Amino acid sequence: MKKSVLLVGPLLTRSGYGEQARFALRSLRSREDLFDIYIRPITWGQTSWITEDNEERRWIDQTIEKTIAHIQQGGQFDMSLQVTIPNEFQALARENVGYTAGIETTHCAALWIDKCNSMNRNIVVSNHSKEVIESSAFEVQNSQTGEIAGNLRSQKDLFTVNYPVKTFDELPDLNLNLKHDFNFLVVAQFGPRKNLENTIMWFLNEFKDEEVGMIVKTNVAKNCLMDRQTCLNNIKQIIDSANVPNRKCSIHLLHGHMTEEEMHSLYLHDKVSAFVAFPHGEGYGLPIFEASYSGLPVVSVGWSGQKDFLYDETGTAHFYEVSYDMVQVPKEAVWKDVIEESAGWCSAREQSAREQMRACYDDIINKNEDSIAYRACNRAEQIKEQFSEEVMYETFVKSFTGEIKTEAIKEEVDDLLADLM
């Protein structure tokens, strides 16, 4: 008999959590023999809503109407899947599963642990997030005596399910009107975590004497004209601060919504040569992932969520590895009960970032066959196999139902029996 599942998440928004919610939905839909799906969409900050008219969107709209009717008739749910930050987890069904992007710092808030423990099980998008949640611990005080009454730690099953590789039947042509034939690409929002200001600044200082471009796909909050002007002003301030008169390199702003097909075309564009990302931390690093499976050489830091695909299963790095320091999260990035003031994250070193961008550029220009850049396409094929939709949908469904733990216990029992025989 099918289980009724209420999916709660920002699956109609253009956001990272929106991507995550749509992946969860597609995973559940891959097993409609198991699940009767209901949907409660939520907003996500100031992000805009998707407007594409396709089969998935029409199915979502119909399912939302079905959900409203079900609730109005007093209907209950067997399971809930809540795609959001743990602060918002709640009991919505007989069995509740939390699904969060995790955390981009060295430890999470106590409220996250408390809320995760209120669910039947939880899913995160990277091993970094899993390790941080499982290693975070907090002393619990007796409210009356003030004495330490115990420790608050993660107690519920926690599974990692990475994002899948996307495939497309047709891709549009992009007319970018680029000034240079060689361009680095960065896809990041302005804000303290993505480190976009330094990324642009370091590029300008390193390539001021070369005919090289950096494409900056960005926004601040929305994709409106006012937001575009804010981005242009931000970039102008960075260029002025760099103080590189008569520079030969250039910055090309890409602003506004791009479909998934257009983004993939961007990664495959013949004038997009490499991908750059120096974030302080990532739950997963979806643009870095998309660039990697598109065959672009990547220049980045080897810390937080992107480690799951930038390194292979043997621990070998398949990117231009920028060294970093661990620093305390700055005050402007602190978010109560989400990003803790006492937490740390990584800070890319300027000299290393410039050296690795330079090494990537030289390897591509000189067609160095013994280089990370040259092997990027081979690595892309490995990622496509390891993170295929079929594999990740199956992994997600098994994590959602708890079947993965059952399989692991069975393997342990089989191993014990084998040892006894």
- Structural domains of the chain, ranges and CATH numbers in brackets: 3-161+390-407 (3.40.50), 183-386 (3.40.50.2000)
Average pLDDT, the chain: 94
The CB-side HSE value for 230 (13 A sphere, CA atoms) comes to: 14
Distance CA 133, CA 124 (A): 10
In this structure, how many other beta carbons lie within 10 angstroms of the beta carbon of residue 88? 13
The b/e string for 121-159 (b: 16+ C-beta within 10 A; e otherwise) is bbbbbbebbbbbbeebebeeeeeeeeeeeeebebeebbb
Least confident among 20-24, 303-307, 401-405: 401-405
Residue 413 has pLDDT above 50, yes or no: no
pLDDT in tens, 375-404: 999 999 999 999 999 999 999 999 999 997
Whether 415 shows a pLDDT value over 70: the answer reads no
3-state helix, strand, coil in the chain (%, to 5): 40, 20, 40
Q: What is the pLDDT of residue 139?
A: 86
Q: Which of 345, 281, 338 is nearest to 109 (CA)?
A: 338
Report the C-alpha gap between 94 and 76 in whole angstroms: 9
Q: For residue 417, what pLDDT is reported?
A: 46
Asked if residue 274 lies in contact with residue 373, where contact means CB atoms within 8 angstroms, the answer is: yes
Cβ atoms 119, 81 nearer than 8 A:
no
End-to-end CA separation in angstroms for the chain? 39
pTM to 2 decimal places: 0.93
Q: Where are the alpha helices (DSSP H) in 158-306?
A: 196-206, 225-242, 260-268, 286-293
pLDDT tens by residue, 121-154: 999 999 999 999 999 999 887 777 777 768 899 9
DSSP 280-292: S--SS-HHHHHHH
pLDDT band at residue 63, thresholds of 50, 70 and 90?
very high
Nearest to 53, CA basis, from 19, 6, 12: 12
